[in-house]
Structure 1
């Protein structure tokens, strides 16, 4: 993977940041994409000070024009993109009948449409240059397992999952692979923001019968690095014959589904 170029959305924190750090550790030049420009600059500077190659490119992935512009800027400054990781995501909780219009549209704008805009921009440039590459979309095990209060999130991740697999089918003849990593509960700010107290983590592990959650068989919540390891595998040549695959990383919470 050394000397390749990667673009990672949602790079300012959580799983996205873990992916960035893992890629930089493998000698990849990484374009950090997120709407949190201050955090991007801070992270990119830290990585460069440690000898890595990373540049910040603040952008809102819900804007088609902005995404097209930033992908062109990345290529101008860093070179052709070899890897894309769609890591940007938002979570709005609530019973389906209580969700607001904004809850629904914002969730899909980031989690689904943002994946479409970024994937389209990167793939079209890969094709124009005759460049083989690999794409990984970070979805969720909730895309295939119903969860209380997560209808918008689950639906958006299911859509992003099938979009990525279909894209993979369409571009396979050009040597471009597209896969999905589906995390379960992971120790990120997105998850901890939902916790009212320390008992919430234990409930995720043990399960909640009233919410039809069976818990996590491996007995622990994932660390972002666990998800990043799966992303790196699917980007790497070790997965050279894998495409349109969904790799679930949830400690068994979805019981293998």
Structure 2
């Protein structure tokens, strides 16, 4: 990844931070995108303090105009974008019959429309150079039904299929588009589902029979770094003949679905 210019959305926390750190540690110049400008600045300073190249670009991925402006700024300041990771995401839970319109709309605005906005802005430029690779971070919920997660699951399923179609449309330009689908991962998004971190881990690993959710066969919750490792593989030259692929990383929780 030496001298590669990489864009990572959702870079202020969770899996996004882990991906940004992994890219930077391998020599990439990383453009950090997130709506949380304060936290984003902290991440950028920490990476630069470790001797890496990282630049913060605060942006709301739900705004097409803001995204186009941000990607233009990235290329002006850092150079042509070679890699993109769509890691921005939100989780709003609840049964469908009581789910609020605004929660549905907010979920799709970030998890699906945000992926569209950023991918379109970056791929337009990649096509001119006839090279590039992107990975969308989806979820194993995109292919496995979950109680009280209909909006999240549907938004991630849409983002996954969008990414595959994008890969088909741009294969002739040498652009690869793949999906990584994590299961339960040790991030604030997971722990927010439960009263405490121990409960989150127990429910994830042991399963919740009354919610028709099995546990994790490997008996552990993923680390953000586990997801980042898979993302980096799909971005790397070692994956040069892989596109439109959906890689699930959930310790077997979806039983291979």
TM-score scaled to structure 1, two decimals? 0.98
For residue 196 of structure 1, report the CA deviation from its aligned partner. 1.1
Counterpart for residue 109 of structure 2: 109
Counterpart mapping for 1:27-176 below 5 A? 27-128=27-128, 130-176=129-175
User: Does the aligned pair in 2 maintain the 1:195–1:201 contact within 8 Å?
Assistant: no
Aligned to 2:97, what secondary structure does the other structure show? helix
Deviations 1:35-87 (A, max 9, x none): 01111111111111211000000000000000000000000000000000000
User: Does the aligned pair in 1 maintain the 2:190–2:200 contact within 8 Å?
Assistant: no
CA distance in 2, matches of 1:110, 1:78: 25
For residue 26 of structure 1, report the CA deviation from its aligned partner. 0.4
Aligned to 2:194, what secondary structure does the other structure show? coil
CA distance in 2, matches of 1:50, 1:86: 24
Counterpart for residue 185 of structure 1: 184
User: Does the aligned pair in 1 maintain the 2:10–2:88 contact within 8 Å?
Assistant: yes
Moved over 6 A (4+): none
CA distance in 1, matches of 2:175, 2:224: 26
Runs of 5+ unmatched residues, structure 2: none
TM-score scaled to structure 2, two decimals? 0.98
Aligned to 1:68, what secondary structure does the other structure show? helix
CA distance in 2, matches of 1:7, 1:56: 10
Runs of 5+ unmatched residues, structure 1: none
Counterpart for residue 219 of structure 1: 219
Counterpart mapping for 1:11-26 below 5 A? 11-26=11-26
